[in-house]
Structure 1
Amino acid sequence: MSALSSIAAPIDALSKAVTAASTKELAKRGQIKETAQKFEASFLSVMMQTMFEGVKTSEPFGGGQGEEMFKSLLTESMAKEVTKAGGVGLANTVQREMLKLQGLK
């Protein structure tokens, strides 16, 4: 039995090292996915701000400095929701390229 225990210790150590490496890789993949989604939301926000520049609202319920101040917050929230719902595919492409750069597949 002592021969088995001398073999089991290195196997356990190797198993723990592989598990730790897998956990680190999963964490890295999660960070990359989050970064790609933030990039897509930022891109969509800028695109929507440009799109809404020409939209005018009626005076009793819109217009003025208040609307201008909060319009950017509205477009940012809309962009985040679009990204959360699947986006336009930009996040997937960015994520794939970031994984390639990190040597992950």
Structure 2
Amino acid sequence: MPPIPPIAPPAPSPALAEREAQLRRLSVDLEASFLSEMLAQAGLGESRESFGGGVGEDGFASFLRQEQAKAMARQGGIGLAEHIFESLKARNNV
């Protein structure tokens, strides 16, 4: 007699999967905002004394910093997004 195969858990509904994806995006965005502020406090993007980009560099430094923070968060960041995601899942019964 062949062994009985294990029963696979039911697949999540598309609405539930979409809600989880939305919560994950929100979590990563929040971590990116946090990282952007931390990078600003660390001095990333401040204009240099000599051979800097002038007023243009100052005006666009925050955009560069935000994109760098988004890239960091998408690659795992400091793990903050995962904690936020789990907390949001628990609060929203997902």
Larger radius of gyration: 1
2:87 to 94, 97, 103: 97
2:57 to 67, 72, 78: 67
The CA deviation at 1:53 is 6.4
- 4+ runs deviating over 4 angstroms: 53-56
- Which residue of structure 2 aligns with residue 24 of structure 1? 15
The alignment's TM-score, normalised by the length of structure 2, stands at 0.79
- Asked if structure 1 preserves the Cα contact closer than 8 Å seen for 2:45 and 2:65, the reply is no
- Asked if structure 1 preserves the Cα contact closer than 8 Å seen for 2:46 and 2:58, the reply is no
- Which residue of structure 2 aligns with residue 34 of structure 1? 25
- Which residue of structure 2 aligns with residue 87 of structure 1? 77
The CA deviation at 1:51 is 1.1
The alignment's TM-score, normalised by the length of structure 1, stands at 0.71
Please list every run of 5 or more consecutive structure 2 residues that lacks an aligned counterpart in the other structure: 1-9
- Which residue of structure 1 aligns with residue 6 of structure 2? none
Separation (CA, whole Å) in 1 of partners of 2:45 and 2:56: 16
Q: Percent identical across equivalent pairs?
A: 29
Please list every run of 5 or more consecutive structure 1 residues that lacks an aligned counterpart in the other structure: 1-17
Which structure shows the bigger proportion of residues in helix conformation?
Answer: 1
Aligned pairs, number: 85
